[in-house]
Amino acid sequence: MRSIGGALRLVAALLVLGSAAAAAAQALLDFSAEERAAIARHGPWPQPWAGDPSNRVSMRPAAIELGRLLFFDPRLSANGAVACATCHRPDRGWADGLPVSTGLARGDRNAPGLANVRLQRWFGWDGAQDSLWAQSLRPLLDAREMGATRRGVAAHLRGEPELSCRYRAAFGAPPGDDDEEVFVDAGKALAAFQSTIASVPAAFDVFRDALAAGDATAADYPLAAQRGLRLFIGRGQCSLCHFGPAFTNGEFADIGVPFFTGPGSVDSGRHGGIRRLQSSPYSLLGRFSDARDPAVRQATELVAFTHRNFGEFRVPGLRELLRTAPFMHDGSLPDLHAVVRRYSTLDEDRLHADGERILRRLDLSDAEIDDVVAFLGTLTAADSPQPAPPSDEACR
Ligand code: HEC
Ligand code: HEC
């Protein structure tokens, strides 16, 4: 009899232990009110979006369809083999998985993923473009990417029945005689399509909403991610630059990624980007912007050329990182551990000029590095970012 009682007690004890283990796996750190507010600022997700005022076809379904055809069309390139989708692959978070992209020739920058690109103010690692449509024109003309000409793109749109039909549906008239206007419109259709590529909510978003609502399911968010998040918004100061729902403040910073691209050549980042922005015929200050409200031009008007911009690159958003390795403007870091280790062992003397006063060498332990990596992983949703579903209506 005693032995049965003993066995029952043992089973009871095991049950208690088991539920304690379950409780440990499902727990919530004691986030302070300040931490909770900082976490809430990284949402909600998705973010509302009301179209691009500088692009009159920005939300038109017909323009989205035209943009989709152009995005996947290699015939736009000089050798007929390079499409936007060559370097922005839907199955790789709309990036290409390579350190630096190769189109007609090898470039020197990493292709960013395109999910949520509609939320940006500046485009390219150096912000040389101030609209998504202007950014979409750049690779067409770049000799290392697609090597096309304005005339060639316009002729393609006029000559292909399906494209010219879609063009008419999107812009209200068939492509006209002015090559540059048709070329710019192609950029606007491409922008309309890319604006539909958005991330769906990820594990972090579910946690953020549950925490804000005081919902017990917040404890389902893995503890390692909770600890990593605490470092991200706290001691790591990551949130100061990787701010808000898209995890970027949209601005430029120098975090000491080397900017030498080869013997005697440098990538000056934002420094060169400002020069290119100011000389571009396609900036919001030029005649191709459809915006009537002068406020749309303001950010571009206020850009000033200063030496401190040398070596600064755009703060990237951090959603979809599990799909878009390698990282940094030059693709020099292969994975997230390498990125977090770099912040941990940062050489403060490498930050040039007046440097980034925010950044400090963090000296994280290996376990802390794992935690930050675990947190960053929860910003990637299970389902990959999709564009608007294609229309099945034929154009005639
Ligand atoms: C040869 C590879 C390649 C091709 C082809 C290519 N891109 Fe890119 N894309 C890149 C690289 C590299 C960058 C970063 C460029 C920079 O920083 O100047 C980029 C940047 C972008 C960005 C800015 C993203 C951001 O976060 O700022 C957009 C938008 C974009 N490309 C759209 C397109 C479109 C549209 C096409 C087709 C017309 C296209 N790309 C063709 C490699 C490519
Ligand atoms: C001073 C602003 C700043 C702070 C603070 C900062 N970052 Fe960054 N981060 C950047 C910039 C700028 C880049 C791109 C640099 C480049 O490509 O040269 C970047 C790149 C990254 C990338 C690579 C993303 C990609 O798509 O290539 C990750 C991941 C990242 N940061 C995470 C973090 C984490 C984690 C922290 C905190 C430990 C942090 N950052 C702190 C500005 C900052």
Separation of 92 CA from ligand 1 center, angstroms? 14
Is residue 235 in some structural domain? yes
Joined tokens for residue 145 = 């990417």
Tens-place pLDDT, residues 5-24: 555 555 555 444 545 444 45
In a domain, 72, yes or no: yes
Confirm if 245 and 45 have CB atoms less than 8 A apart: yes
Please tell me the total count of domains within the chain. Answer: 2
Q: How far apart are CA 227 and CA 373, in angstroms?
A: 10
Average pLDDT over residues 246-258: 91
Assess contact for 335 and 325: CB atoms under 8 A: yes
Looking at residue 101, what is its pLDDT? 95
Q: Mean per-residue pLDDT for 162-176?
A: 97
Residue 4: other Cβ atoms inside 10 A: 8
Q: What is the CATH number of the domain that holds 98?
A: 1.10.760.10
Domain presence at residue 117: yes
Say whether both 187 and 235 belong to one domain: no
What single-letter DSSP state applies at residue 360?
-
Closest by CA position to 151, among listed 179, 175, 178:
179
Q: pLDDT per residue over 117-132, tens digit each?
A: 999 999 999 999 999 9
Give yes or no for a contact between 76 and 145, defined as CB atoms under 8 angstroms apart: no
What is the amino acid identity at position 385?
A: P
Q: How far apart are CA 316 and CA 249, in angstroms?
A: 9
Mean pLDDT computed over 366-381: 98
State how far the Cα of 187 lies from the Cα of 181, in Å rounded to an integer. 10
Which of 194, 218, 253 is the last residue in one of the domains? 194
C-alpha dist (Å) from residue 385 to 46, 74, 115, 195, 200: 12, 22, 6, 12, 7
Query: In terms of domains, do 370 and 246 share one?
Result: yes
Whether 339 contacts 327, CB under 8 Å: yes
| Lowest mean pLDDT across 80-94, 204-218, 277-291, 304-318 | 304-318
User: Does the pLDDT value for residue 256 go beyond 90?
Assistant: no
CA 218 to chain centre: 26
Is the same domain home to 349 and 255?
yes
How many residues does the structure list for the chain? 396
Distance of CA 212 to the CA centre of its chain: 25
| 257 and 355, same domain (yes or no) | yes
- Is residue 200 in some structural domain? no
**Residue 275 Cα distances to 102, 126, 160, angstroms:** 24, 10, 36
**Which helix (H) or strand (E) is 253 found in, with range?**
strand 252-253
| pLDDT-based confidence at residue 310 (cuts at 50, 70, 90) | confident
- Say yes or no: 72 and 181 in one domain: yes
**CA of 112 relative to ligand 1 center, distance in Å:** 7
Q: Which of 172, 194, 216 is the last residue of a domain?
A: 194
pLDDT band at 264 (very low <50, low <70, confident <90, very high): confident
Residues with Cβ within 8 Å of 80's Cβ and at least 6 positions away in sequence, in order, are 74
- Ligand 2 site residues (CB inside 6 A) read 232, 236-238, 240-242, 253, 255, 257, 313, 315-316, 318, 321, 324, 327-329, 336, 339-340, 343, 356, 358-359, 372, 376
Dihedral sign (CA 390, 391, 394, 396): negative
CATH code where residue 251 lies: 1.10.760
| Residue 42 located in a structural domain | no
For 57-75, give the DSSP string.
TTT-HHHHHHHHHHHT-GG
Residue located nearest, by CA, to atom 37 of ligand 2: 238
Residues 6+ apart with CB under 8 A from 88: 71, 94, 95, 96, 111, 113, 114
CA distance 300 to 245: 23
Is residue 53 included in any domain, yes or no?
A: no
Mean pLDDT, the chain, integer = 92
pLDDT score of 395 more than 50: yes
Report CA(322)–ligand 1 centroid distance (Å).
Answer: 19
Q: In this predicted model, which residue has the larger pLDDT, 14 or 308?
A: 308
Per-residue confidence (pLDDT) for residue 352, from 0 to 100: 62
Domain that includes residue 93, residue range = 61-194
pLDDT score at 356? 60
Same-domain status, 166 and 234:
no
- Confidence check: pLDDT of 252 > 50: yes
Both 157 and 246 in one domain: the answer is no
Last residue of a domain, one of 174, 194, 214: 194
| Same-domain pairing of 185 and 236 | no
pLDDT of residue 23: 47
pLDDT at 6: 55
76 and 188 share one domain: yes
In a domain, 79, yes or no: yes
Burial class (CB in 10 A: 0-12, 13-18, 19+), 363: exposed
Best CA proximity match to 316, nearest among 232, 369, 255: 255
pLDDT for the residue numbered 4? 52
pLDDT in tens, 22-62: 445 579 999 999 999 999 999 999 999 999 999 999 999 99
Higher-confidence residue of 144 and 259: namely 144
Instruction: Please tell me the distance from the alpha carbon of residue 298 to that of residue 254, in angstroms, as a whole number.
Output: 24
Residue nearest to atom 36 of ligand 1 (CA): 84
CB 70 within 8 A of CB 76: yes
Q: Which residues line ligand 1 (CB under 6 A)?
A: 82, 84, 86-88, 101, 103, 107, 109, 111-112, 114, 117, 120, 123-126, 132, 135-136, 139-140, 145-146, 190, 194
Q: Is residue 151 part of a domain?
A: yes
Reported as a single tens digit per residue, the pLDDT across 265-285 is 888 899 999 999 999 999 999
Whether residues 162 and 282 share a domain: the answer is no
Are residues 160 and 255 both part of a single domain? no
Helices 203-213 and 223-233: crossing angle in degrees, nearest 10, is 80
pLDDT confidence band for 146 (50 / 70 / 90): very high
Q: Please tell me the pTM assigned to this model.
A: 0.93
Report how many helices (DSSP H) and strands (DSSP E) the chain contains, helices first. Answer: 14, 4
User: Domain check: are 162 and 256 in the same one?
Assistant: no
DSSP 8-class letter at 181: H
> Shortest CA distance to 306 belongs to which of 267, 344, 270, 340?
270
By the 8 A CB rule, do 116 and 45 touch? no
Q: What is the pLDDT of residue 276?
A: 96
Question: What CA–CA distance (Å, rounded) separates 135 from 139?
Answer: 8
